[in-house]
């Protein structure tokens, strides 16, 4: 807690991890406030991270943003807009230097925007001495990128659609801690190219032109309820069924947009079939996939080695990255940010 006699440090660093949606967020009910058309449920990963240092500096005339050691004009616009929200809240007008590192490839369907904005808001909150609650951090991270609302928390997380026009109730909350139901995640990397149509554009196009849009909105409550119950009861089969359903349904919507969005390549589909064949043979594993070509397999830890071996053997799978479930966003020492690449996966 900071007081007026105890000025904010103006600089802080934070780490956040990507999350993978099991019940998908796809579509917005308010673009300006980035409010989702539907609620969603995710798992936060360990091992993969974004580390971000934010320093507000009276000497700076403009924000300076470096992502993975490069000045990135595209990403910087969204970062500056998010910093503006924090500055307004703090009642200050100082520009900031932001240095951010990922230990996994940016922009290739591994949700670097989720961990990125969760880390940014957590660091900037501390630098400005705002003392925001996790729910408030979640609401601000959401305005940077929707899925970032969920990376504020660890383990199993639900992000509520909310009803209020101002979005005050569209925040994430934890459902179950990572340690309470350990799962393994194997990410099959099938391409390192930056995706052609980003999530924001893809979901806007889908909402505007997919004939299945209304059906998607109507069924989400039931999918969320099934996933919530499966998580509370640690019912793997029940979670597997609804998570694969939500994933395929999101892609069915997107495929039917005009022009249609095809996020998969051949290896994505082969990997999906390999996961299904494993489950048909009794291995506790299911797949999910987002707005990109990577296929994510989620399994009980006892099956992780078998699943990794199977994915490795799929033609076109370049690499398999293994993770478990991890913690939410948190402050770290500024010296840990510079050391980021040492831990690249
Ligand atoms: C397919 O959070 O990247 O991964 O809010 O427009 O920044 P914006 O979108 P983003 O979309 C993620 C979409 C998804 C599903 C999900 O994570 O729930």
Task: Return the CATH number at 152.
Answer: 3.30.230.10
Has residue 3 been placed in a domain?
no
325: CB partners within 8 A, 6+ apart: 43, 44, 45, 46, 154, 155, 156, 178, 181, 182, 183, 185
Q: How far apart are CA 14 and CA 334, in angstroms?
A: 8
Determine whether the shortest distance from the Cβ of 159 to ligand 1 is under 6 A.
Answer: no
Determine whether the shortest distance from the Cβ of 290 to ligand 1 is under 6 A.
Answer: yes
Measured in Å, residue 331 CA sits from the centre of ligand 1 at 24
Has residue 73 been placed in a domain?
yes
**Of 13-22, 71-80, 195-204, 322-331, where does mean pLDDT reach its minimum?**
71-80
Nearest to 329 by CA among 32, 88, 52, 86: 52
Decide which of 296 and 343 is more confident: 296
- Separation in Å, CA 289 to CA 151, 176, 297: 17, 22, 9
Instruction: Please tell me the predicted confidence (pLDDT) of residue 343.
Output: 55
Instruction: Please tell me the predicted confidence (pLDDT) of residue 194.
Output: 74
Q: Whose CA is nearest to atom 3 of ligand 1?
A: 199
- Inform me whether the pLDDT recorded for 276 exceeds 80: yes
Has residue 324 been placed in a domain?
yes
How many other C-beta atoms lie within 10 A of the C-beta of residue 46? 15
Instruction: Please tell me the predicted confidence (pLDDT) of residue 104.
Output: 81
Has residue 198 been placed in a domain?
yes
Measured in Å, residue 92 CA sits from the centre of ligand 1 at 30
Determine whether the shortest distance from the Cβ of 122 to ligand 1 is under 6 A.
Answer: no
Band of residue 196 on the pLDDT scale cut at 50, 70, 90: confident
Q: Whose CA is nearest to atom 11 of ligand 1?
A: 199
Determine whether the shortest distance from the Cβ of 24 to ligand 1 is under 6 A.
Answer: yes
Determine whether the shortest distance from the Cβ of 147 to ligand 1 is under 6 A.
Answer: yes
pTM of the model: 0.95
Measured in Å, residue 200 CA sits from the centre of ligand 1 at 7
Give residue 140's domain range.
Answer: 10-343
Instruction: Please tell me the predicted confidence (pLDDT) of residue 8.
Output: 59
Measured in Å, residue 238 CA sits from the centre of ligand 1 at 24
Q: What is the pLDDT of residues 117-158, one digit of tens each?
A: 999 999 999 999 999 999 999 999 999 999 999 999 999 999
Ligand 1, atom nearest to 145 Cα:
7
Instruction: Please tell me the predicted confidence (pLDDT) of residue 73.
Output: 65
263: CB partners within 8 A, 6+ apart: 109, 195, 197, 202, 251, 254, 289, 290, 291, 292, 293
Q: Which of 291, 292, 293, 294 to mutate to test the pocket of ligand 1 (most atoms within 8 A of CB)?
A: 291
Measured in Å, residue 88 CA sits from the centre of ligand 1 at 25
Instruction: Please tell me the predicted confidence (pLDDT) of residue 1.
Output: 45
**Residue 228, CA atoms < 13 Å, CB-side half-sphere:** 14
Q: How many domains does the chain have?
A: 1
Has residue 117 been placed in a domain?
yes
Instruction: Please tell me the predicted confidence (pLDDT) of residue 341.
Output: 53
Q: Whose CA is nearest to atom 7 of ligand 1?
A: 145
Query: pLDDT averaged over the chain?
Result: 93
Instruction: Please tell me the predicted confidence (pLDDT) of residue 2.
Output: 43
Nearest to 274 by CA among 332, 317, 224: 317
Determine whether the shortest distance from the Cβ of 288 to ligand 1 is under 6 A.
Answer: no
Has residue 32 been placed in a domain?
yes
Q: State mean pLDDT over 293-300.
A: 97
Measured in Å, residue 287 CA sits from the centre of ligand 1 at 17
Decide which of 75 and 131 is more confident: 131
Q: Which of 20, 25, 38, 77 to mutate to test the pocket of ligand 1 (most atoms within 8 A of CB)?
A: 25
Has residue 64 been placed in a domain?
yes
Measured in Å, residue 291 CA sits from the centre of ligand 1 at 8
Band of residue 339 on the pLDDT scale cut at 50, 70, 90: low
- Inform me whether the pLDDT recorded for 345 exceeds 70: no
Q: Which of 111, 198, 257 to mutate to test the pocket of ligand 1 (most atoms within 8 A of CB)?
A: 111
Band of residue 178 on the pLDDT scale cut at 50, 70, 90: very high
Has residue 97 been placed in a domain?
yes
Determine whether the shortest distance from the Cβ of 118 to ligand 1 is under 6 A.
Answer: no
Nearest to 180 by CA among 157, 148, 160: 157
């Amino acid at each position: 807690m900071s007081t007026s006699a105890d000025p904010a440090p103006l600089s802080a660093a934070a780490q956040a991890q990507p999350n993978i949606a099991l019940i998908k967020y796809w579509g917005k009910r308010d673009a300006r406030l980035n409010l989702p058309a539907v609620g969603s449920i995710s798992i936060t990963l360990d091992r993969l991270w974004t580390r971000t240092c934010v320093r507000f500096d009276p000497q700076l005339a403009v924000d300076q943003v470096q992502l993975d050691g490069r000045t990135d004009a595209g990403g910087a616009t969204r970062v500056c807009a998010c910093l503006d929200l924090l500055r307004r809240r703090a009642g200050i007008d100082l520009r900031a230097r932001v240095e951010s590192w990922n230990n996994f490839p940016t922009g290739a369907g591994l949700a670097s925007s989720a961990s990125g904005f969760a880390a940014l808001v957590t660091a900037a909150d501390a630098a400005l001495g705002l003392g925001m609650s996790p729910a408030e951090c979640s609401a601000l991270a959401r305005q940077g990128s929707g899925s970032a609302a969920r990376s504020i928390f660890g383990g199993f997380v639900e992000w509520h659609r909310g009803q209020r026009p101002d979005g005050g109730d569209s925040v994430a909350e934890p459902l179950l801690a990572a340690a309470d139901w350990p799962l393994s995640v194997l990410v099959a990397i099938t391409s390192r190219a930056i995706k052609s149509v980003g999530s924001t554009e893809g979901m806007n196009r889908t909402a505007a032109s997919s004939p299945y849009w209304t059906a998607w909105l109507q069924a989400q409550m039931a999918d969320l309820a099934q996933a919530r119950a499966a998580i509370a009861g640690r019912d793997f089969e029940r979670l597997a069924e609804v998570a694969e359903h939500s994933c395929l349904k999101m892609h069915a919507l997107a495929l039917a947009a005009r022009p249609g969005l095809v996020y998969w390549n051949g290896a994505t589909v082969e990997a999906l079939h390999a996961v299904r064949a494993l489950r048909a043979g009794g291995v506790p594993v299911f797949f999910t996939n987002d707005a990109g070509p990577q296929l994510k397999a989620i399994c009980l830890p006892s099956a992780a080695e078998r699943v990794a071996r199977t994915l490795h053997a799929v033609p076109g799978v370049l690499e398999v990255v293994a993770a478990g479930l991890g913690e939410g966003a948190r402050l770290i020492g500024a010296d840990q940010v510079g050391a980021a690449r040492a831990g690249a996966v």
